[in-house]
Amino acid sequence: MQPNTTSRFTGYYRNAEMDVAGGPHMALPDLYTSTSYFLSEELRDSLAWKSVVGEFTTRPDTRVLVFRIQRLPAGSPIRGKLWIDDLRLVEVTEAAP
């Protein structure tokens, strides 16, 4: 991961039989500072594949991001089935005029 860079995160999920008080989210925090760069909406039950998309710009001290499945609020375990596919993180470049 490059510092001061705008990136686009994309991925797909589907899930079923989720049994939680607060559902799972896809998250991209900084490994060293725990700064949150991306947090998806709750990954709700869906038998069809759904996309997750987000753009963010890293700070000057950013070096490594970590992909996590995060429960909000944290605490009890997540039960059910969750499938994740086609995760991508690409640098956003401005189009030439």
Task: Give the predicted TM-score (pTM) of the model.
Answer: 0.86
What pLDDT score does 95 carry? 57
Count of CB atoms situated within 10 Å of the CB of 43: 20
Where in the chain are the domains? 6-90
Which residues share a beta bridge with 91?
7
Mean pLDDT estimate for the chain: 89
Instruction: State pLDDT tens for residues 81-90.
Output: 899 999 999 9
> What does DSSP assign to residue 7?
E
Three-point CA angle 12, 27, 11, nearest 5°: 15
What pLDDT score does 23 carry? 81
97 falls in which pLDDT band (50, 70, 90)? low
Instruction: State pLDDT tens for residues 32-48.
Output: 999 999 999 999 888 89
- Mean pLDDT of the 12-29 span: 87
Residue written as token pair 């869906």:
46
